[in-house]
Amino acid sequence: MNTTTPTNNTGLRKWIIAISIVIPIAVAALFGIKVEGVDFSFLPPIYAGINAVTGGLLILALIFIKSGKVQQHQKTIQLALVLSVLFLLCYVAYHMTSDSTVYGDLDHDGALSGKELGLVGATRFAYILLLLSHIFLSIAVIPVVLFTYLHAWEGNYQKHKKWAKFAFPIWLYVAVTGVIVYFMIAPYYAH
């Protein structure tokens, strides 16, 4: 990160906006593509693990900055960013090669019978609510995290700190709910 005077990177800002629009659209479009003959069914626990590590790194980064360990904070955030990109790649690879899993679908036929729905009850509503909040905030977190990072890189630490107050809880929520969503849906994966 830049440790000199604050600078203004209009070009980078435009890239952040473009990336923040392109990534969700690309991910949504890729869900419509199915690659046959490739088995990435092993990826969900891996990308859930990546989410868990990312969450831990975010907490560690907060501890570092509160302790005045700026370089450790920077390196930890950079690693969390790398892991977030790795998560995205694994997530897309899995969903491009695997059928969607329906929460509560014990017989793996892609639909919920009355019996299956009765067995999952209100937990299905809780799962869907958690999943939707995770998805929408994972879209919102992209520009928030990237602009927060850019402010620090530019040396505008006052603005970085203001943005981080929003970026940290959203990013942490997305990381943690990613793990929770995985554990909730895992029993219904077709093996």
Domain ranges of the chain: 38-188
pLDDT score at 190:
75
Is the pLDDT assigned to residue 103 strictly greater than 80?
yes
The whole-angstrom separation of Cα 15 and Cα 21 is 10
Residue reference for tokens 């940290």:
168
Instruction: For residues 132-153, give the mean pLDDT.
Output: 95
Per-residue pLDDT of 19-65, as tens digits, reads 999 999 988 888 788 889 999 999 999 999 999 999 999 999 999 99
End-to-end CA distance of the chain: 45
Which range of 4-13, 14-23, 65-74 scores highest in mean pLDDT? It is: 65-74
Quick check: 160 and 152 in contact, CB under 8 A? yes
Distance separating alpha carbons of residues 53 and 75, to the nearest angstrom: 14
Rounded Cα gap, residues 66 and 70, in angstroms: 9
Tell which residue, 100, 132, 138, 106, has the closest CA to residue 119.
Answer: 106
CA distances from 166 to 39, 90, 159 (A): 38, 26, 12
Query: Can you say how many angstroms the Cα of residue 26 is from the centroid of all Cα atoms in its chain?
Result: 15
Which fold would CATH assign to domain 38-188?
Four Helix Bundle (Hemerythrin (Met), subunit A) (1.20.120)
CA atoms within 13 Å, Cβ hemisphere of 130: 19
Report the Cα 103 to chain-centroid distance in Å. Answer: 20
> Each residue of 41-75: b (16+ CB within 10 Å) or e?
eebbeebbebbbbbbebbebbbebbeeeeeeebbe
Question: Do 57 and 79 meet the contact criterion of CB atoms below 8 Å apart?
Answer: yes
| DSSP-based three-state secondary structure for 42 | coil
pLDDT of residue 1: 54
Mean pLDDT of the chain: 92
